[in-house]
């Protein structure tokens, strides 16, 4: 028993160390200012487009691998969805982003469930005990609702299900189904931004971007999703 605990501690510390090294490397080599230059974005967009078109299969596999690592090490979901739409377009981008985010999230759940389950329960179970019986009644259904509603950071949403002992199969399937609407909207927004960059030589104003159908339709859809999520939260998770 003690040997098992020691192994978990060592592996858990190693995982946190890997995250720290990755964050240090990322912050050391990339500046936020790099993403604010329209010319740089346009140049990189053309480079990405050429790379993608030269070998679509390698591009897909590379995107999948990078996103899985991204979720494991950083845990953010929204930037990935925008980038997926930006590079691969609305439909292929949605499929790739959904599969890669779900895979990364499932790995993160497995790691959390094995190494940090007791810690997570200690910190959060008192606030979420009222959901335990609901998950016991119909785990997959309530997990789909949980995924659809969102409202909490992606990283946290992937580790909290350890409290309810969600089966890995239900975690994966529920994530696929529950995340489709939000991801499709975010990917569509990324694809719309790509179209705007392609059609303009200079950076458009915020108003010019918002009145584009590729932008305002996903934004309106997002508000609709938020309203539906509010209703589902009151009906099923209260």
Q: Where are the domains of the chain?
A: 1-30, 38-236
Q: How far apart are CA 22 and CA 36, in angstroms?
A: 23
Contacts of 158 (CB under 8 A, 6+ apart): 71, 75, 105, 108, 109, 112
Residue 177 has pLDDT above 60, yes or no: yes
Residue 151 has what pLDDT? 75
How much is the pLDDT for 103?
94
The reported pLDDT for the residue numbered 79 is: 78
Give residue-wise pLDDT tens across range 116-161: 878 887 777 767 777 777 888 888 998 999 898 877 888 888 888 8
Mean pLDDT calculated for residue range 13-35:
54
More confidently predicted of 31 and 122: 122
Q: How far is residue 68's CA from residue 106's CA, in Å, rounded to a whole number?
A: 9
**Summary mean pLDDT of the chain:** 77
Choose the weakest-confidence range: 55-59, 152-156, 194-198, 231-235.
Answer: 194-198
């Amino acid at each position: 028993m003690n040997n098992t605990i020691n192994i978990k501690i060592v592996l858990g510390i190693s995982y946190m160390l890997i995250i720290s090294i990755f964050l240090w490397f990322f912050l050391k080599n990339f500046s936020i200012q790099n993403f604010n230059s329209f010319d740089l974005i346009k140049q990189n967009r053309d480079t990405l487009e050429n790379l993608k078109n030269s070998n679509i299969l390698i591009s897909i596999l590379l995107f999948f691998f990078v996103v899985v690592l991204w979720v494991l090490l950083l845990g953010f979901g929204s930037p990935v969805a925008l980038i997926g739409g930006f590079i691969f377009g609305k439909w292929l981008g949605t499929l790739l982003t959904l599969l890669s985010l779900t895979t990364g999230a499932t790995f993160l759940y497995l790691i959390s469930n094995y190494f940090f389950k007791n810690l997570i329960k200690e910190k959060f179970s008192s606030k979420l005990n009222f959901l335990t019986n609901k998950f016991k009644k119909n785990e997959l259904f309530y997990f789909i609702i949980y995924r659809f509603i969102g409202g909490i950071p992606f990283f946290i949403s992937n580790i909290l299900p350890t409290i309810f002992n969600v089966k890995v199969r239900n975690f994966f399937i529920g994530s696929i189904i529950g995340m489709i609407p939000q991801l499709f909207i975010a990917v569509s927004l990324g694809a719309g931004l790509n179209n705007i960059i392609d059609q303009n030589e200079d950076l458009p104003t915020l108003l010019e971007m918002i009145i584009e159908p590729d932008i305002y339709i996903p934004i309106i859809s997002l508000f609709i999703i938020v309203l539906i999520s509010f209703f589902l939260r009151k009906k099923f998770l209260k």
